[in-house]
Amino acid sequence: MHITQQLSTTLNSQCCSSSKMVKLALGSFGDSFSIGSLKSYLSEFIATLLFVFAGVGSAIAYGKLTSDADLDPAGLVAIAIAHAFALFVGVSIAANISGGHLNPAVTFGLAVGGHITILTGLFYWVAQCLGSIVACLLLEFVTSVTSVPTHGVASGVSALGGVVMEIIITFALVYTVYATAADPKKGSIGIVAPIAIGFIVGANILAAGPFSGGSMNPARSFGPAVVSGDFSQIWIYWVGPLVGGGLAGLIYGDIFIGCHSHVPVSNDYP
């Protein structure tokens, strides 16, 4: 059918319906409680939860920053933007080779969903941690800093609170990876996936930075800990992100994809 014919048909149907009252479809319990509908509800719940958490969390974080002289709001924004841009580029340049994980929590989450084998994932972990250590050594050398800054929970935040915060924000990150890159139904979205992944990291740092540091990445925290020799809170940044990444892989991989067959790692990202 030509576009003009489609437009004519649409206009005719609108004219025919214009004389009628607006009618709301009640639907049936069968349709409302179908598997597809339940998945839609869960998806809306998770997506809205993550959106509000990052949005309201950043507002709360801003309030904390403006009342604490030791913290700088402009610095937090700069850190968030830097991480977002860097991750976008990192994922983009590695996507066609390794899948562009750059994060043990992402690797673990994809392993839980059957997108990478455990053994290969362990080698990914080694490579990621080594990359982080070398980066920190280089930074220490070229900047002559006395100590590479490490992740740690803020004053007044408990270790458990830091773990829970890292679980939530890493869940958001890995869930975004699945939704934009690992889901076979995603179609061809090209560069959108790395952008979305970078954006969620930046947003989560704005929300969680003043509380847990907003790591979401065990390798990101491990490198500075090794170079500085400070392992006092490193467990928080392994437990929290791995639990969050695993939960995202379990929920999205099990419920929304429902496939545990292993696929080549290069297919994890577009």
Query: Is a pLDDT exceeding 60 seen at residue 248?
Result: yes
Closest by alpha carbon to 207, among 234, 171, 169? 169
> The CATH number of 26-257 is which of 1.20.1080.10, 1.20.1290.10, 1.10.10.60, 3.40.50.300?
1.20.1080.10
- Cα–Cα distance for residue pair 178/255, rounded to 1 Å: 12
pTM tops 0.85:
no
Query: Is a pLDDT exceeding 70 seen at residue 230?
Result: yes
Closest by alpha carbon to 111, among 266, 263, 270, 9? 263
What are the residue ranges spanned by the domains of the chain?
26-257
Per-residue pLDDT reduced to its tens digit, 96-111:
889 999 999 999 999 9
